[in-house]
Amino acid sequence: MKRFAIVLAAGQGKRMKSKLYKVLHPVCGKPMVGHVLDTVKKVQCERSIVVVGHGAEAVKSYLGTKAEYVLQAQQLGTGHAVKQAGTLLGQEEGTTIVICGDTPLVTEETLQAMLELHERQGAAATVLTASMDRPQGYGRIIRDSVKGSVARIVEQKDCSPEEDAVKEINTGTYCFDNAKLFAALEKVTNSNAQQEYYLTDVIGILVGEGEVVEGYMTEDFAESIGVNDRLALSEAEGYMRERINRKHMLNGVTIIDPSSTYIGADVVIGADTVIYPGSHISGATVIGEDCVIGPAAEIEDSRIEDGAKVKQSVLCQAEVGKETTVGPFAYLRPGAKLGEHVKVGDFVEIKNATLDDGSKVSHLSYIGDAKVGKNVNIGCGAITVNYDGYNKSITEIEDDAFIGSNVNLIAPVKVGKGAYVVAGSTITQSVPDNDVAIARNRQENKPGYAEKLRARAKAKKQKEQESFS
């Protein structure tokens, strides 16, 4: 049976009090609507329709070709929003999930279980429900006392005392027989106080027609959270972070202090890696096995191979090879690529540069727009001078070269294999293989001249004091 999804993402989200469109607010580094769309794709939905309204172009820009789109130009209720997808799905046969774009905590496992119940029972609709100790404000699920199926959904304001005591609530996520969904939508009216077309009315219509309506209760109440303000956003972030950390720990990753460790939704981490407190790992980062990360490492969209160590450093769009060490206090900027057994030490910045296997930049250096070969040693305070105010140029340092402390390599320049550059040199011309380059003035000592300098300074100070008296 074919499966489809309709993601409702047209609401403005005024309670967020934000210039950013509501469903684009991130939870663990990914916009909410991205979480939702990824989840429905995991349950084999062949087509995903995103209903957009406010901020439509921003949502389309983020999701791109991952979805199809329909516009809800006027916000006339959830039923009206779903009806807009009729132009794309109205003639299809199959099962359609309807889910809100601000419910990032709904899981693949829950959707799959709900779909299986729906299809097994031949239901016209199945409602995702949850149990809540204090369900004020939520629509109650009233079940048939004999069959146990859903008889109706009653909103809080319409509950009788008996209905008000029910703790099973409607989460706002459904799956429908697609043809019956769109047929029922034609019968929904806006005869209510808000003059809106409610999707919940479809449930009543289907029950009235003798159709089977099931309810699937999630075991995790967090899945019911819809984010409408910053408080709910924070709550969703907490639940998601706990869920992500738990998944990694169950997969063999040691997280020393989960409460102070932030790992993004799409991060991949290998077994026997240890994450120390204060680390923030986000984006499409992939970390191998047996790595040590942190404390206080910030890693975004980077790749770290097996056995590497990253301590108190920042990495953005960088690559770190096997058994390589980074930090503390290093900064790997976009385009930094480190080979195997490389050492990058404290207060080293690397940008758009490759360091091949076994090379070392131990401290206080800047390596930008450079190609560094194997087993190169770059001393303290050495820099590649890559920018002349207009253009950036490349520095090449070949295998087994030695770059002394406080060396300036003025790009474009090349240091050959096995060459030595003496400390304090400013290199403006290429250095051939196995040569030693010295580019500094010869030292000259002037005997006793320091005394003359001190006497001159003393006389100047005395003269200044006399002029003020």
Which residues form the catalytic set? 363
Is 387 assigned to a binding site? Answer: yes
Bridge partners (DSSP) listed for residue 130: 169
- Are 342 and 357 spatial neighbours (Cβ–Cβ below 8 Å)? yes
Task: Give the burial class of 409: count Cβ atoms within 10 A of its Cβ; 0-12 exposed, 13-18 middle, 19 or more buried.
Answer: buried
**Separation of alpha carbons 202 and 250, rounded Å:** 41
**DSSP per-residue letters across 429-462:** S-B-TT-EE--SPPP---TTHHHHHHHHHHHHHH
User: Is 346 labeled as ligand-binding?
Assistant: no
To the question of whether residue 440 is assigned a binding role by annotation, the answer is yes
Residue 72 assigned as binding residue: yes
d(CA 336, CA 315): 9
DSSP string, 139-187: PEEEEPTTT-SEEEEE-GGG--HHHHT--EEEEEEEEEEHHHHHHHHTT
Other beta carbons within 10 angstroms of residue 135's beta carbon come to 20
- Establish whether 155 is an annotated binding residue: yes
Cα–Cα distance, 50 to 30 (Å, whole number) = 17
Say whether 8 counts as a known binding-site residue: yes
Q: Is 22 annotated as a binding residue?
A: yes
Any known ligand binding at 139? yes
Tell me the C-alpha distance between 81 and 227, whole Å: 18
| CA–CA gap between residue 417 and residue 433 (Å, rounded) | 5
Ligand-binding annotation for 170, yes or no, is yes
Establish whether 423 is an annotated binding residue. yes
405 is in an annotated binding site: yes
| Residues in binding site | 8-11, 22, 72, 77-78, 102, 139, 155, 170, 228, 333, 351, 366, 377, 386-387, 405, 423, 440
| Residues in binding site for UDP-N-acetyl-alpha-D-glucosamine | 8-11, 22, 72, 77-78, 139, 155, 170, 228, 333, 351, 366, 377
| Residues in binding site for acetyl-CoA | 386-387, 405, 423, 440
| Residues in binding site for Mg(2+) | 102, 228
